[in-house]
Structure 1
Amino acid sequence: MIDKIRMAELTSQEARENLTDDAVVLLPMGSLEDQGIHAPMGDYMAADRMALEIAKAARERGVPTFVAPVIPFGGRDYFDSSHGGISISHATLAGIIDDMFASLTRHGIRKIMIVNGHGGNVPAITEVALRWRHKAGLFVPSMYLWQIAYGELPGLVGAEHAAKASGHGGDPLTSLGLHFYPDLLRPDLVRPAPEGATINGVEIAGFSAIAYDGAKIQAPIEAREATETGAFGCDPTLCSAETGEKLAARLVEIGAGFVADHVARGLHD
């Protein structure tokens, strides 16, 4: 098996020899948005790094796994208000994913898994994956990293700690950042998320919700209206490189295991 893992680093001859119908290709995706005033905006960097680590671990299990170039721009949502952020429309993102599937399958590459790091990408991923399943029998799973991470954190750091540290601008992304690229974070800017934001006299209960009589009601608000620091409902001061290391190891274990046990064998109806 060739040492190169990133598809972009393969020569065309190496691509012909290695990107066969036995190969698994991971498609990392993320966003460029406010992740908290202390953290780099590009969460796609964490998704790309996780895809690389999953590919390495899958190779140790004998699976020829490669990582496609990351899609750095997320599907447009309430984070479109992030200063300096870049997002793309749902239709544009779906078109990019659709074209990537078409390019890979043209050359017989059908063992594909998406490694996603942005909730705003989920609708486009779902739309395109279903379309290709219906028209070509292609079955592409998507590993939404942060959704999985929220479920894993209580077992790694304790339920009470996880409840306080988890949230946008906190865990899992801040701890993963401290683990993968600590030099890019600003410890001097880390502080608990602000509370008590309101809009039109109603309490803001999330990036797309307001609270009334104990219930959450969807509302067209923007992230910057919910928090001035980019963090919401969490305490980023509780995040750590140690937590990031534990979480990264667990995500790799899940991802590489799924690749070896299912994706590499060819998922189909």
Structure 2
Amino acid sequence: MTQTKFHMAHLTASEMRDAVARSPVVLLPLGSFEDQGPHMPMGDYLLADVVAGQIARKAAAAGHEVYVAPVLPFGGADYFGYMPGGIALSQTTLQAVLRDMLESLLRHGITRLIILNGHGGNCTMIHDVTRTIWLRDGIMIPSFYLWRVAAGFLPGVVGAEQAAQSGGHGANPLTSIGMHLLPDLVREDLLPTVHEEKTAWGLNVSDFGTLDLDGAQISVPLEGDATASRGIGRGDPRLCSAKTGAALTEKLVETGLKLVEHVLKHGER
């Protein structure tokens, strides 16, 4: 068959029943709605959804049937409660939501599942939910943390020095990917002109929630307005570009296809 629809929300009920009978792979994109810096749209879940769609299309071109479940836009609460208009879920609520989403699919034999995660605050919760399903049912549901994987590709794209200078929340890789995939939503005119170094609790800030004590990284229960500069962590977003974003997106999509093929080859058990 030639696949023309890739998001489950676009399928009719009849089309969905037929698709499920063929045991497709289903991608579940997750994201967040928080401060991503003064220049970036707050909804990074939009990027997770676009990347998921591109993986599904590339997989279809390779002969695999893959669909994208409706994106979960709200991430687990961590550092961003200070942001006006931001929406986050408690970890216990988010865990219950993801569990219910997965159980709804598993109930009907949809077991070829891949989670495409776009928020660091989701990682532990995802592990807890998928581990419970694995121990109970022997069903393997891998999770692919998009921006961490992209950060791993960054030195190979821009070089180690620029990767170190530009990598971090509010900068690379998310800003470059946003410039590539959603250029109309990125306000390059609002990019900060100066990268600010910050201190908190009498120590230099290392990253969100961590301070430097003579080279030792100390975790502290501070929100991002205390440890970041307008939503920007240690990276400089002025070094980001749509060209970098295109290269990172291509690598993410290639990795997504490899994971789809691995799930199809090895099964869920």
Query: What is the TM-score when the length of structure 2 is the normalising length?
Result: 0.96
Q: Which stretches in structure 2 are left out of the alignment for 5+ residues?
A: none
Query: What is the CA distance between 1:25 and its match in structure 2?
Result: 0.2
Question: Any conservation in 1 of the 2:195–2:236 contact (CA below 8 Å)?
Answer: no
CA distance in 2, matches of 1:32, 1:99: 21
CA distance in 1, matches of 2:228, 2:237: 14
Question: Any conservation in 2 of the 1:35–1:168 contact (CA below 8 Å)?
Answer: yes
Question: Any conservation in 1 of the 2:147–2:173 contact (CA below 8 Å)?
Answer: yes
Question: Any conservation in 2 of the 1:194–1:227 contact (CA below 8 Å)?
Answer: no
Runs of 4 or more above 4 Å deviation: none
CA distance in 1, matches of 2:101, 2:124: 17
Query: What is the CA distance between 1:159 and its match in structure 2?
Result: 1.3
Change beyond 3 A, Cα 1:22–1:266: farther
In the alignment, what sits opposite 2:267?
267
Query: What is the TM-score when the length of structure 1 is the normalising length?
Result: 0.96
CA distance in 1, matches of 2:213, 2:162: 28
Query: What is the CA distance between 1:268 and its match in structure 2?
Result: 4.0
In the alignment, what sits opposite 1:41?
42
Task: Write out aligned runs for 1:166-185 (5 A).
Answer: 166-185=167-186
Change beyond 3 A, Cα 1:228–1:159: closer
Cα offsets for 1:130-181 (capped at 9, x unmatched): 0000111110000101111111011112111211111111111111111111
In the alignment, what sits opposite 1:83?
84
In the alignment, what sits opposite 2:256?
255
Query: What is the CA distance between 1:192 and its match in structure 2?
Result: 5.6
Question: Any conservation in 1 of the 2:45–2:72 contact (CA below 8 Å)?
Answer: yes
The residue type paired with residue 17 of structure 2 is R
In the alignment, what sits opposite 1:102?
103
CA distance in 2, matches of 1:10, 1:17: 10
Question: Any conservation in 2 of the 1:36–1:169 contact (CA below 8 Å)?
Answer: yes
SS of the equivalent of 1:127 reads: helix
Question: Any conservation in 1 of the 2:205–2:212 contact (CA below 8 Å)?
Answer: yes
SS of the equivalent of 1:79 reads: coil
Q: Which stretches in structure 1 are left out of the alignment for 5+ residues?
A: none
Task: Write out aligned runs for 1:1-269 (5 A).
Answer: 1=1, 2-20=3-21, 22-191=23-192, 194-260=195-261, 262-269=262-269
CA distance in 1, matches of 2:242, 2:203: 37
Cα offsets for 1:86-106 (capped at 9, x unmatched): 000111111111111111111
Question: Any conservation in 1 of the 2:141–2:268 contact (CA below 8 Å)?
Answer: no
SS of the equivalent of 2:28 reads: strand
Instruction: Provide the aligned length of Structure 1 versus Structure 2.
Output: 268
The residue type paired with residue 243 of structure 2 is E
Which has the higher mean CA deviation after the structures are superposed, 221-230 or 111-120?
221-230
The residue type paired with residue 35 of structure 1 is Q
Question: Any conservation in 1 of the 2:30–2:119 contact (CA below 8 Å)?
Answer: yes
CA distance in 2, matches of 1:118, 1:193: 26
Q: Over the residues paired in the alignment, what is the CA RMSD in angstroms?
A: 1.3
SS of the equivalent of 2:80 reads: helix
